[in-house]
Amino acid sequence: MFRFFENLVDPYGPYPEKDTPPTKLFPFLMDYAQPFKRVFVYAGLMSVVVAAIEIALIWAMGWVVDILAGDPAEVWEAYGGWLIALAVFILFIRPALQALDVLILNNTILPNFGTLIRWRAHRHVLNQSVGWFENDFAGRIANRIMQTPPAAGEAVFQVFDAISFSIAYVIGALILLGQADPRLAIPLVGWLFLYGMLVAWTVKRVGPASQAASDARSEVTGRVVDSYTNIHSVKMFAHNTQELDYAKEAIEKTRTTFQYEMRLFTIMDVVLVTLNGLLIVAVVGWAFYLWMQGQASVGVVAAATALTLRLNAMTGWIMWALTSFFRQLGVVSEGMETIAQPITLVDKPGAKPLQLQAGKIEIQSLTHHYGRDGGGLDKISLTIAPGEKVGLVGRSGAGKSTLVKLLLRFYDAESGRILIDGQDITDVTQDSLRLAIGMVQQDSSLLHRSVRENILYGRPDATEAEVIAATKQAQAHEFILDLQDPQGRRGYEAQVGERGVKLSGGQRQRVTLARVILKNAPILLLDEATSALDSEVEAAIQDTLYGMMEGKTVIAIAHRLSTIAHMDRILVMDQGKIVEDGTHDALLAQGGLYAGFWARQSGGFIATETEAAE
């Protein structure tokens, strides 16, 4: 039975993906709610049925009070069948209908609605560009992905569990009192007006207050995760106090926003208790007055009393449900600041996979400044022949890494274009472009998974023999066999920690090299590929690097000039332009920037900007 209701909606089912999701709250929620439309109808109907049953039971209790005024034997003879039917209804039919209501809410909507939002939101965020992620805290993004789905699920739950139920219940109460005596409905209508004013006052303030509190919580998460992620820097610079102060500022903001939110609830509770007192005195007192005048039966007084006491018990729950509903909408609104952001770097309609033939790269008048006045690239033009090995050197900020990021299409260039085998990279799919390029970065961070999973990231369908061959080529196999994590997993099954923190810099770099070797892409980018290796290990894998380059088009960024001295060509960049182009010997003979770098290098590294300027 549970499985039937749990499987009414598949949260992972196919859906039309949108690069630009709705930015308004209710269209945003309705977009996610499309697979649940039929279920929501059933949930709404069941809420009305359950409310009607509650009202009917109160009416039935009043009826029972009235018939008890007669002789017991006569009462049983006249009404015994009806009383048995009422008992059967209460014992069997009512629980069955209640079960159907809660099964739809608890087993169909709650688990699946939040899961659907989290899955689709995560998928949407993963499609964002690298630049998009660089503009926010990873912790805040993750927090919004985590807290928005349960908030949306809770809001939907309150709609059917409390809001639609309470509306149906109040309408039923008005009908019941009106049938007993229309005058009994007057105090209830007056109370509803005052109650509505209180709800409007609370809701108007709770939504913004909740959004502010949610945003403050996300800020705390972002700052705390930032400290934990960079714990080595925190400890190395002995900045525990500064990090605590940095976190305290956000934590205090969270406390003050939450305090304001709680003030609203305190005011609401006090006013609500006062209004409920007016309701009880007005309705029950009026019913008692009508009974004294002989215009109402004891059953009517009993039903009116039961109804008002039930409403008294419900109003706090209804108010809390309403405020919870708008609080959760505030959380969703805050989460939408991340989840509903449009994806700006997208494949063109009809984009086809890159058809790689030889690996020729053409860069035509390429310009990109990240929206700033300086930095980046300025009208670079360059052709790299198939299989050519090109070294890229220059001072920090010269534009080397920008060129590589544009080649990978992590950003779209402001002007100009890049062609691979005659195909504009903006006309092909991003996945096919990046599958054709292998890259070893200076920051060789790994996923918090096993060594094997990290290496298989290069080619998930690789065999075990291919994985081991790649690690041996990267001089990594021996140290991997000696690894053991705190949970006792050994070798290739050992977990490497967040960003590979459990491995040394050289070990991380060799695992990264193994991953790229396994990928075996026809275009190879090396960004300081040996920077984390000691001289002995670097010397041991130089042959590995040259072997990786065989038959590939290669662009290698290096400050250690000895690693690129044997390249086919070396490009020297300065202030976003290519200022020198030639072989190692030719550039030395020119006596320009490269010759200056070579002459002033220490231990094979490019001199600092200060030294180079002297």
Return left, alpha or beta for 324; rule: phi > 0 is left, psi -120 to 50 is alpha, else beta: alpha
Mean local confidence (pLDDT), 217-221 = 85
pLDDT (tens digit per residue) in 294-333: 777 777 777 777 777 777 777 767 777 777 787 788 888 8
Tell me whether residue 422 is in a domain.
no
Is the model's pLDDT at 371 over the cut of 80? no
Question: Quick check: pTM over 0.85?
Answer: no
Tell me whether residue 420 is in a domain.
no
Instruction: Supply the pLDDT for residue 609.
Output: 44
Instruction: Supply the pLDDT for residue 611.
Output: 38
Task: Return the number of other C-beta atoms located less than 10 Å from residue 81's C-beta.
Answer: 10
- Most confidently predicted of 22-31, 175-184, 290-299, 309-318: 22-31
Is the model's pLDDT at 172 over the cut of 90? no
User: CATH number for the domain including 212?
Assistant: 1.20.1560.10
* Spatial distance between the Cα atoms of 467 and 515, rounded to a whole number of angstroms: 8
Number of independent structural domains in the chain:
1
Residue-range definition of the domain harbouring residue 202: 8-15+22-339
CA trace torsion 393, 408, 369, 577 (10° rounding)? 30
Instruction: Supply the pLDDT for residue 610.
Output: 38
Tell me whether residue 229 is in a domain.
yes
Instruction: Supply the pLDDT for residue 537.
Output: 64
Task: Return the number of other C-beta atoms located less than 10 Å from residue 562's C-beta.
Answer: 16
Instruction: Supply the pLDDT for residue 8.
Output: 93
Mean local confidence (pLDDT), 352-376 = 87
Is the model's pLDDT at 283 over the cut of 60? yes
Tell me whether residue 242 is in a domain.
yes
Tell me whether residue 322 is in a domain.
yes
> Residue 536 contacts by C-beta under 8 Å, 6 or more apart in sequence?
none
Mean local confidence (pLDDT), 336-360 = 91
Tell me whether residue 371 is in a domain.
no
Tell me whether residue 136 is in a domain.
yes
Instruction: Supply the pLDDT for residue 97.
Output: 93
Task: Return the number of other C-beta atoms located less than 10 Å from residue 242's C-beta.
Answer: 12
Q: Is the dihedral of CA 242, 243, 246, 251 positive or negative?
A: negative
Q: Is the dihedral of CA 106, 112, 117, 118 positive or negative?
A: positive
**480 pLDDT tier (thresholds 50, 70, 90):** very high
Mean pLDDT score across all residues of the chain: 85
* Spatial distance between the Cα atoms of 417 and 414, rounded to a whole number of angstroms: 9
Tell me whether residue 299 is in a domain.
yes
**608 pLDDT tier (thresholds 50, 70, 90):** very low
Mean local confidence (pLDDT), 403-427 = 93
* Spatial distance between the Cα atoms of 346 and 32, rounded to a whole number of angstroms: 21
Instruction: Supply the pLDDT for residue 518.
Output: 93
Looking up tokens 């996610």 gives 32
- Type of residue at 542: Q
Mean local confidence (pLDDT), 595-605 = 71
Higher pLDDT, 413 or 295: 413
Is the model's pLDDT at 602 over the cut of 80? no
